[in-house]
Chain A
Amino acid sequence: MTPKTLLSAFVSGLIFALGLGLSRMTDANTVLAFLDLSGDWNPALAFVMVGAIAVHLPFYRMIRKRERPLLAERFHIPTTNIIDKKLVLGAAIFGVGWGLGGYCPGPALVSLVSFDGATPLFVAAMATGMIAQNFMRKSPQRGAQIEDQDETA
């Protein structure tokens, strides 16, 4: 992995964080107000996904025409298309946590530097949940590990 690859990943992470901030996804209270349909509902955050896909889609089409990425041997893109119990259950559990805390993983990590009491607590709990899931996946009672989760989504 070349320094260029690492630099571009760093820059990519930085732009991602600024995007989350600009869109207000890093304001957990705004996210909770968006997910709460009972109050004075503001649909604005739904447009974050619209803006992201509108930009990523044409780039994605162009990039996939290439044989390989600029700085690597191959693309690491998931090919699984199976909708199984794990996907459904995992997404459902994630949504409950999101509606409860107002953070999905990106905004929580970006907000870490604010040192606001609840944020490091959330991130620590999130890390614990991730490690617990990994532990369960690896335990022999659940059978051999056959799936490669490296390439998320």
Chain B
Amino acid sequence: MNDNSAARSTWLRHLPAILGGMAALTVGGVLLVSHIEGGSGMPRTVLILGLPVTALLSAAICLAALERIRLRAAERAGQERRRLDEQRLYLAAIVESSDDAILGKDLSGVILSWNPGAERIYGYSAAEIIGRSISVLCPPERVGEPHGILERIGRGERVDHYETERMCKDGRRIQVSLTISPIRDAEERIRGASTIARDVSERRHVEAALEASENLLRSVIDSSTDLIFMKDRDLRIVLCNQAYASALGKPVAGIHGKSDLELGWDRELVEGAAAKGIPGWQRDDRTALSGEIVHVTSEPCNVPAGTRFFDTVKAPVRDARGEIVGLVGVSRDVTERVRAEREIQQLNAGLERRVAERTAELTAVNQELESFNYSVSHDLRAPLRHIDGYSKILLDTYSQEAPEDARRCIDRIRTGAQRMGHMVDELLELSRTSRREVRKELTCLATLVEDAIGELKPEIGDRAIEWHIAPLPFADCDPALTRQVFANLLSNAVKFSRRRELAVIEAGQTCVEGQTVFFVRDNGVGFSMKYADKLFGVFQRLHRREDFEGTGVGLVTVQRIIQKHGGRIWAEAELEKGATFYFTLEGRGEQQRCLTETTVSGER
């Protein structure tokens, strides 16, 4: 029920009394008027008695009515007071229960009120602090601060919410957020100020930590020489590092919020150019925003510094709920690498061209050599055949008539022709061996040596030869060519030990500087080491032909074969004591290193 309706009902309740009072007054009045006019003939006594009674009655009725009105008003005032008290208690409870510190002070800074929140935050109880100056809450360097504020409040100025530092009872400094409002009295005069203070130390710590974290992030991304950037879902840059800004020649601040096109990147790069096979960054970005990681390699981009090449990775960025909110990109400047690669490509192309040219030259030379060989084989041998043939016919037909000396001369002619035939044949053999492709396979060297010795039987005849053949290993080599090596070396050994009563020929392996080395040794005539360099020259011979036959091609052939295997050959000899030929079948470091030095004891 509101005040108006309450007042109305009060009046309604008192209406009979008021009406009674008014009726009595009316009767009294009528009686009085009748008397004055004297028309009614009512006895005077009635009139004299009736009037006061009426008046008294009316007055009584009116008084009673007024008393009731007064009582009702007093009752209403009591109710109002109770209501205000309740409200005050309610507000006080709010103040009491607030986590914020709520305190009141007069304009001189004396604290007048202090809620439990203030006690919790500052550590002072209300009893301790009420009546003391607000400046006890200030750290020494801020002691003057509240008075300045209070002066402004006193002048009626508005004080904005602000943050500052305060000191607790235990000396601890805390960050507080303050809201200060004036307190006015009933006459609207400013009597003091209320302060609501909130401890924001925690928030400030978090903010400081966040700031530190941001600074860390920034210093990390700025320390990178890669271009690092983040875009939002609208493909606008929300973060970039110094390298990105430097590449564009713009300040970092001028980049935020801009799209690639607004930043001046080539339209083709950004929007793509199907004809040139450029998918475009926008497409890459959308792919990243769809949750995939995009890699772009060696992409040429025009920046103020010129054309640079970048390897770029773009990946989606998700928020705490896993929603993709943007993308992060890292671009690495790989210009130097691309240049190096191009240089290598050019070099390779040049090299390939040169190789092709050289191959063509070599092919031509080989063809020439081939036809030369054919000529040697076919055309040069024919006249030799004729010389020998007709010499033989001369001898057969005219031997009776020819003098002894003529026959000897014809013999010499034949010998010469036949020797030249041998030389031509051996040269051809050498050429054939040199051109032959080496087909390596695991080969039993012991068997090769056995075969080679078997073939020497006719040369050996009934000579006494002591063979010392050490166990030989399997080797990765061309069997036919290697067999030729052993055959040649063993044949030489047999040939040059021919004058020994007991020839001793050895074959074996040893270890030189970790490499397996094969050798063939004889106790024959040997040679002087000062001519060792002539051993492997074509047609070079270290002995007189009448002493030891031969064309001087055999060792050259052996050397060619060994060189084609990647190996090397050398000899050690002493005149009249014998010779040893050493060779390897593989280059250094190509084979398993032999672990033990194995040598075959020589009986020299």
Q: Do A and B bind?
A: no
